[in-house]
Amino acid sequence: MAVDLGPKFPPTFEGIPPHVSSEDLPIWQEFRRRHAKEYVAFYFDVALGEGEAAASNVSAQVAAAWRRLTRFRADVVGDTGTEWHIIELRPNAGPGALGAIQTYSTLWGTGAPDARPVRAIIVSDRCADDIKRVGRLAGVEVRCLTET
């Protein structure tokens, strides 16, 4: 199934992004402050994968809504103009963040909007050295906001 980017936001957008949690919001705000100029657009709560089929006794409209609601969601996708960046916002990033971003980048490959390269990025307030090491080995960029 195709990636559903949803609404496009300019890099100057300073509001609260759709579906960004209160824990992730300060991480997003700091990331945006530091890196917005690198992007031409952002997308939030990006739907990836197939989702789940609804029960057979529901209307087509309810079935479509259910499938959309049960798809995996990337926190942020950044468009640099030449690359796509799948961005996982995660306080105190650990193995769950690595698993999530690898899932999202794999699903991206099954329905990407175009053939541009994609980068998987975890953005966190704190990152253990082991997470940074595993990220490097897995091809995932780990950005710690506590580091300059």
Q: For the segment 107-142, what is each residue's pLDDT rounded down to a tens digit?
A: 999 999 999 999 999 999 998 999 999 999 999 999
pTM, two decimals, is 0.93
Write out 74-103 in H/E/C secondary structure.
Answer: EEEEEECCCCEEEEEECCCECHHHHHHHHH
> DSSP secondary-structure letter at 57?
T
Mean pLDDT of the 89-104 span: 96
What pLDDT is recorded for position 1? 81
- Of 24-38, 56-70, 90-104, the poorest mean pLDDT is in 56-70
**Mean pLDDT over residues 71-90, rounded?**
98
pLDDT digits (tens, 9 = 90+) for 39-75: 999 999 999 999 999 999 999 999 989 998 999 999 9
pLDDT > 90: what percent of the chain? 95
Question: Which pLDDT score is estimated for 148?
Answer: 62
Percent of the chain, pLDDT > 70? Answer: 99
143/148 Cα distance (integer angstroms): 10
